[in-house]
Amino acid sequence: MINYEKVKPLFFKLDPEDAHHLVANTLQIGELIPQLFNPFIKRNFVDDERLHQEIFGCKFLNPVGLAAGFDKDAEMIRSMTALGFGYTEVGTVTPKPQPGNPKPRLWRHVKEESLQNAMGFNNKGSFYMQKKLKKRYPYVTPIGVNIGKNKVTPENEALKDYEHGIKAFRELCDYLVINISSPNTPGLRNLQNETFIDALFDMAKSLTNKPILLKIAPDMSKEQAVALCSKAVEAGADGIIATNTSIDYSLVKEPKDVGGISGRVIRDKSFEIFDAIADELYGKTVLISVGGIDSGYEAYRRIRAGANLVQVLTGLIFKGPEIAGNINRTLLKLLEKDGFKNITEAIGADRK
C-alpha cells in the first residue's frame, strides 16, 4: 500500500482540481475492474457488528460516509467501498448539466488542512447520473443523492428544479438531500427560509416516501439554525445534515473572496451549530454531522452529541485514503473504552 504522507507533497504540487480529476480517473479504472478493489476493501472497510445501524430501512455497516461534492456524477460508488466508507452521498446534481463557475475555483489552505471551493454545482446533469445509478442501485452500502437547482433557474422557480430531482432519483437511491446551503450558486442560501421549506416538503412528500433530508449552512445563528431545522422536520423532513461549507473567510489566513471553506478550520463552527440543532431535535429525527471531521475522536464527539451518522470530504484530501478505516477503528476503541456494546448506545450519550 502507498504511504500517503510521502506522496502528498507531490500530489499537492498539482492544481487542486487537476489532482481531483487524476484521483477520479484512477478510481474509475477500479470501477471497471472491481477485483482490483479487493485488497483495499480488506484493508479499509470496517465491518463490525458494533458499528451496524438500521436507518431509513437500510443497513449501515459503519457510520462514516462520503459527503456530497466528491463524487458529483455517481461515477465512484464502488471506489468508496474500497476506501472504507459505509455509505456514499453523490452530487450535488442539477436537472441540466452545467460547467460550474470559472476556474480557478478550488484552493488548498495546506497549513490549516482546509479547502476553499467556488465550484458552483459543476455536474453532468440528472440524465447522466440516472444512467450511472441504474447500474449500481441497489448497492451493498446505502446511496444518497444530493440535489440542487441550476444556476440559471430563478429563485421563484427553484421548486421546479427540486421537484425534477426528486422525480429523477426517488427510485435510484436510499435517501435524498435537499441542498439549499451551497454558497456557490447565486441566491441559493436565500431559500433557507421557512416559507420555502414549507412549500418544498409539501411538494416532496406528495411525490415520494423516500427519506428526504435538509442540508444547512453553518453561517447563521444557532437560533436561526434550530428554527429552520425544526420547521423542516415539522414540514416532513426525515433528517438534517449539518453543515455545508462556510463563508466566514476569517477562518483562514489567506482566503479568496469567493466560495465556501471546508476542513479543519470549520470544525468548531460546524460542531456548535450541530450541537444546538441536536439539543432541540435529538431523538426526533435522523441527524448527520459533517464539517471538519478528520479523526475518530472528532467523529465520536459528534456521535455522543447526537449524530446518527457522520460524513467526511476534505479530510480525505488531507489525511488520505485510509481515513474512513482509521476513523471506524478508533470508534471501536472508544466504544469499548466507554462500555458501549453498540454505536446506538453512544449516539446522544452527552444529551442523556
Q: Which residues are part of the catalytic machinery?
A: 182
H/E stretch holding 310 = strand 309-312
CB atoms within 10 A of CB 134: 11
299: nearest Cα among 328, 321, 270, 276: 328
Alpha-carbon dihedral sign for residues 6, 65, 121, 74: positive
Rounded to whole angstroms, what are the CA distances from 69 to 107, 119, 226?
A: 15, 9, 25
Q: Are strands 260-263 and 53-55 parallel, antiparallel or unpaired?
A: unpaired
| Closest alpha carbon to 208 in 178, 163, 239, 241 | 163
For residue 79 the three cell numbers come to 471506489
Separation between Cα atoms, residue 88 and residue 79, nearest integer Å? 10
Q: What is the DSSP string of 48-77?
A: -GGG-EEETTEEESSSEEEPTTSSTTS--H
| Residue 336 burial class via C-beta count within 10 angstroms: exposed 0-12, middle 13-18, buried 19 and up | exposed
